[in-house]
């Protein structure tokens, strides 16, 4: 398996969940990391843990991915040699609320669209020219089963993940002549901070999402991402869809009585 030793891996959403699990698994394989999110203290704790555990070299970038000016400023603050990112993992993302469209909050829609679609585009736009120049690199986007089939009251969140699906497919075509890989890793239910954020801190409601199901963990998803990142040079994994065994797609879940 190709080595990740000294590869520069940029992880958005590294302060929690899947992004944080990726930081740990890529660090354990010898990668050098750029850890990004808004919560600087979480990133600092993680960087310290990875330094102590794996002697990982890392840089922290704290910015709001919804704001293109902040994204540009953060990326440009990197020393020139850190801008040659080998692997970009676009994990920053969220759901806000879960209502029928006619009852939905347009402010929540803005946050989801600005983070999941526009934020992913802003960051990718900064990183890609350096990959194109070197004709080498790998973009790994966090899609979702919600980007393949919709579920009740999932309207705008599902739309953002359908958009990520389209962006991944389209990027792959745009980059065909540049030897740059594009993968989409699309999980079903993963227990992270995701549902707590979706329901604005309502922990009981968040727990209920996973009631009677053995959900995926962030580490399960990081494992699939690591698999994509470690295939031979000529192999691109286009897409991985992974779900708990009790979930067939967004809408089909079997729950054990609890
Ligand atoms: P999580 O634990 O809530 O982590 C989300 C990450 O995104 C956090 O690090 C958060 O950092 C970052 N983030 C959110 N808004 C941001 C902003 N405006 N600017 C910068 N960073 C921001 O959720 P997760 O489950 O790991 O989700 C990671 C990705 O997987 C998301 O794209 C999500 O849509 C996707 N996904 C999740 C599931 C699931 O069931 N959990 C299923 C399918 C797909 P800060 O708050 O510190 O900024």
Q: Ligand 1 pocket test: pick from 194, 206, 210, 217 the residue with the most ligand atoms within 8 Å of its Cβ.
A: 194
Report how far ligand 1's centroid is from the alpha carbon of 17 (Å).
7
Q: What is the pLDDT of residue 258?
A: 82
Minimal CA–CA distance to 16: which of 193, 196, 141, 215? 193
pLDDT of residue 148 exceeding 80:
yes
Minimal CA–CA distance to 4: which of 28, 34, 38, 35? 28
157 as an active site residue: the answer is yes
In a domain, 258, yes or no: no
In a domain, 59, yes or no: yes
Using DSSP's 3-state secondary structure scheme, residue 225 falls into: helix
Choose the catalytic residue: 122, 157, 210, 227: 157
Report how far ligand 1's centroid is from the alpha carbon of 187 (Å).
13
In a domain, 41, yes or no: yes
Phi, psi dihedrals of residue 45, rounded to the nearest 5°: -60, -45
Structural domain boundaries enclosing 188:
8-253
CATH code at position 235? 3.40.50.720
Give the separation between CA 61 and CA 65, rounded to whole angstroms: 11
In a domain, 3, yes or no: no
In a domain, 214, yes or no: yes
pLDDT of residue 187 exceeding 90:
yes
Atom of ligand 1 nearest to the CA of 92: 7
Q: Can you tell me the mean pLDDT for 234-255? A: 96
Under the banding of pLDDT at 50, 70 and 90, the label for residue 94 is very high
In a domain, 139, yes or no: yes
Q: What is the pLDDT of residue 1?
A: 76
In a domain, 236, yes or no: yes
Report how far ligand 1's centroid is from the alpha carbon of 40 (Å).
15
Minimal CA–CA distance to 251: which of 173, 172, 151? 151
Number of domains observed in the structure of the chain: 1
**Which residue, judged by its Cα, is nearest atom 36 of ligand 1?**
144
pLDDT of residue 136 exceeding 90:
yes
CB atoms within 10 A of CB 242: 16
0.75 exceeded by the pTM?
Answer: yes
In a domain, 170, yes or no: yes
Atom of ligand 1 nearest to the CA of 19: 26
Report how far ligand 1's centroid is from the alpha carbon of 97 (Å).
14
Atom of ligand 1 nearest to the CA of 15: 9
pLDDT of residue 250 exceeding 90:
yes
Q: What is the pLDDT of residue 2?
A: 82
């Amino acid at each position: 398996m190709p080595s990740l030793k000294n590869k520069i891996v940029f992880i958005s959403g590294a302060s929690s969940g899947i992004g944080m699990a990726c930081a740990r698994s890529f660090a354990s394989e010898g990668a050098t990391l750029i850890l990004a999110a808004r919560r600087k203290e979480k990133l600092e704790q993680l960087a310290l843990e990875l330094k102590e555990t794996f002697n990982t070299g890392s840089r922290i970038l704290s910015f709001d991915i919804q704001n293109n000016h902040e994204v540009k400023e953060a990326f440009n603050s990197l020393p020139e040699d850190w801008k040659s990112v080998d692997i970009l993992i676009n994990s920053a993302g969220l759901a806000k609320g879960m209502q029928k469209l006619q009852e939905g909050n347009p402010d929540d829609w803005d946050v989801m669209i600005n983070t999941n679609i526009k934020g992913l585009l802003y960051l990718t736009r900064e990183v890609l020219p350096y990959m194109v120049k070197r004709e080498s690199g790998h973009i790994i986007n966090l899609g979702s089963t919600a980007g393949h089939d919709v579920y009740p009251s999932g309207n705008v969140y599902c739309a953002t993940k359908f958009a990520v699906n389209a962006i991944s497919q389209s990027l792959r075509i745009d980059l065909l002549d540049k030897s740059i890989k594009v993968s989409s890793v699309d999980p079903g239910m993963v227990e992270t901070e995701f549902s707590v954020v979706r329901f604005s801190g309502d922990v009981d409601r968040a727990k209920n999402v996973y009631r009677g199901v053995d959900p995926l963990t962030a580490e399960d998803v990081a494992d699939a991402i690591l698999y994509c990142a470690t295939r031979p040079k000529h192999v691109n994994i286009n897409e991985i869809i992974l779900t708990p065994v009790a979930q067939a797609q967004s809408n089909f879940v079997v729950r054990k009585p609890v």
